[in-house]
Structure 1
Amino acid sequence: MGDPLSVTASVAGLLSLGLQSTEYLYNYYTVCREQHRDLAKIADQLGGLLESLRNIDQTVHTRSGRPNEQSIIQSIEKSITHSEDAINALQGEVDKFKKKPTDDWRKKAVVLGRRAAYPFKRSTLEDLSDDISDFKDNLSIAVQALQLKEHQNTQDDIEEVNAIVRDIQARSIHIDLRQWLKAPDATVNLNVVVAKRYASTGQWLV
């Protein structure tokens, strides 16, 4: 088994930050989603982003790299690097949430158009939605690369198994053929005949 996929420390740090900030915001907006459809929409967007991030993070930490998977590492690093602005924007939202107790934000979770308090202003939600979409679009490159490589690896594994089966079958046929072509052992056959002969057999010829 090979070593796990190895990305640079900076990319690993960005991935971890993106995962943590997305999870924090998802948990928060999930609690508030029933109070307005805009909040439910944000919660759903964050949920989709969180799923993609978890898949990539799991791949980086648990998947055994193959010699031909350098392209996957490059795709992941490129996607995460291009998402740096979106990650920082999400973390900025998290920092604002943490400045006040969660209960204070929940008391303000009444959307009244432009009179709504941060973080429930329409402009804030629209900006957040844009950041989430940009982040997910960047990740889609890595996710597609992972899915394609997984399919290719599966096909390679199947072909390898088929080759092994064909080799075993060829060896078995070769052994059977050699056994069939092998000259009979006259000594064995003679002993069998002698063992089956009746007493006095052939004496009438004397």
Structure 2
Amino acid sequence: MADPLSIAASVAGLVSLADLIVVRLIKYGRAAKNAGSESRRLADEVNLLGGTLSSLSTLADALKDDAFDNKFRMHHIEACNDTLVEIQEALKKYNSDITTKKKAMWPFTVRRVEELIKDLTRHKGTIALALSANSMEAMVQLLADVQAHQAEITAAIKDTTKITSRIHENMERRKVLDYYLEYNPQSNYDMSLHLRHSGTGRWLTRLPEFQHWLTTPNSLLWLKGIPGAGKTVLAGVVIEEALKKSTVTTPSAFFFCDYKNEKTHSIETILRVLRYQLAIQKEEAYTKLEQHYQAHHSSGLPKTPSVPSLSSLLQEMVRLFSHVFLTVDGIDECGTRADEVLETLTAIMETTDNISMALLGRDEDNIRDCLEDVCVPVEIATHKEDISEYVRAQLGDRI
């Protein structure tokens, strides 16, 4: 609580404090390193506030004999005092340097100076309004009312700022993610599910080799077959089973190479898309992706990420999980770049121990040479169980 005498004394004390700060700010403007124009701007605002406080001090002194209800608090005077004391303490910390040969350091950042100037301007406006009072109680009431109103405005601004920040963050996140999603394999996966007849492909999921791949990290599965054997359809089976196993700590990512789309033949595109899928499944993985993005967009024109940097980051992201399923279909459809794709993917397998990777492609010499010593291949051919399921489905439809 405050009485008329203590209010008048408090305001008078603020006038003296403001005058002291102005003098110190002027000294800093001449002697402090990196002060620039910031010290002058801050000094001008404190000086204007000091003049307004001086007028308020005169009014408070004249009204101090008025009857006064001591239930009021001088919230705004206290807030004004807090701002001035913060400036004083910061200047006092480095004040001794000004009188020595050592170059004094300016204690405020540009951002903090802007915030202080806004605070000082707000205090000045409120005090100017209180000068219209014709009694001590009216003066305090005006200050209290403005303080409450400003609190409401500040709360509303904070809420708006949070919403704006969230929108900005979402836009920034979308920009980062879109940079890595050069090709969306979801349509390929949807097509593989559409082409698959109900009940077919179950034989694959019951194979010991497949069950080992599904349950054991650091395992490589190669599904091979002649053109038209149904590798892409079975890729959908593999991805579907992996997705059933997916959890927060066990993500699944996939890619389809398509001979009709040259972009899908690039190991850079494959690595980008696999990383994108991991990033959207864990915040720490997204952070890694964002750091990589910033490193290549920090200044000037954006730099194209190299294959080693893409590969290295994928390994870092993989290590954030306990078990990761990666499925890549159509290795053979990468043409002349198939060797590079195979070498990069198998190298990632060698440097991590928590990936279950499934590769699907024709049994061609270069693919066989790369994979036959590191995995047990599974031959894909027309399976009698699939034929039985297909005939049964057709008969059911016809009946």
TM-score for the superposition, normalised by structure 2: 0.27
Determine which structure has greater relative contact order: mean sequence separation of CA pairs < 8 Å that are 6+ residues apart, divided by chain length. 1
